């Protein structure tokens, strides 16, 4: 992966999609947020926590920072805290991208995964992984919202960029 502009566009879409998803789930009571599902991470709250955890951890890896332990997805996080975490990570990601240069995309980075194993990948491939990981779990969260009787957001990319004429 070597196209900073494309990845930046996908990341911008992902931040928009996260906001849409959080908005759709924000009015649900804890009983629905924690209702068991046989998909995702087992509940809507855990799946949202997992999306954030993945984005947070991959950002640490991009920056070459020592990864903190994977966040606890069983933590009973309230929605205001969850929203704040998503926004904080998005702001840090935007700051990182503002400094990134096209040449950085092919730069190899050595990192440890959550099990402690060492890996090497280019920054571009690591960024793409985060995009795809989040999209996969957002789809699961939309399905959970639908099953909970909530109004799921339309997360099609065009919904994030089109404007009426």
Q: Give average pLDDT by consecutive 10-residue segment, the chain, 165 residues.
A: 79 95 95 95 96 94 80 85 95 92 85 86 93 96 97 92 81
**How many domains does the chain contain in total?**
1
Distance between alpha carbon 130 and the CA centroid of its chain, in Å?
A: 7
Which residue is it, tokens 């779990």? Answer: 137
Torsions phi, psi for 121 (to 5 deg): -155, 160
Per-residue confidence (pLDDT) for residue 43, from 0 to 100: 96
Rounded Cα distance between 131 and 109, Å, is: 17
* CATH code assigned at 36: 1.20.120.450
Per-residue confidence (pLDDT) for residue 70, from 0 to 100: 79
Per-residue confidence (pLDDT) for residue 34, from 0 to 100: 95
Per-residue confidence (pLDDT) for residue 1, from 0 to 100: 45
Per-residue confidence (pLDDT) for residue 153, from 0 to 100: 94
Per-residue confidence (pLDDT) for residue 2, from 0 to 100: 55
Q: Are the C-beta atoms of residues 119 and 113 closer than 8 Å to each other?
A: yes
Rounded Cα distance between 133 and 128, Å, is: 9
Per-residue confidence (pLDDT) for residue 75, from 0 to 100: 83
Torsions phi, psi for 110 (to 5 deg): -100, 130
* Domain of residue 126, residue span: 4-161
């Amino acid at each position: 992966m070597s196209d900073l502009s494309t990845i930046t566009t996908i990341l911008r879409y992902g931040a928009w999609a996260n906001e849409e998803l959080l908005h759709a789930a924000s009015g649900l009571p804890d009983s629905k947020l924690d209702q068991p599902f046989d998909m995702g991470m087992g509940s809507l709250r855990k799946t949202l926590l997992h999306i954030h955890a993945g984005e947070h951890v991959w950002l640490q890896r991009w920056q070459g920072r020592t990864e903190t332990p994977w966040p606890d997805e069983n933590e009973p996080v309230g929605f205001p805290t969850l929203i704040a975490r998503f926004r904080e990570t998005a702001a840090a990601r935007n700051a990182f991208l503002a400094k990134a240069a096209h040449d950085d995309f092919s730069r190899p980075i050595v990192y440890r995964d959550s099990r402690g194993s060492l890996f090497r990948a280019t920054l571009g491939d690591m960024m793409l992984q985060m995009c795809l990981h989040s999209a996969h779990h957002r789809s699961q969260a939309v399905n959970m919202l639908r099953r909970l009787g909530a109004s799921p957001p339309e997360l099609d990319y065009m919904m994030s960029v089109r404007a009426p004429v």
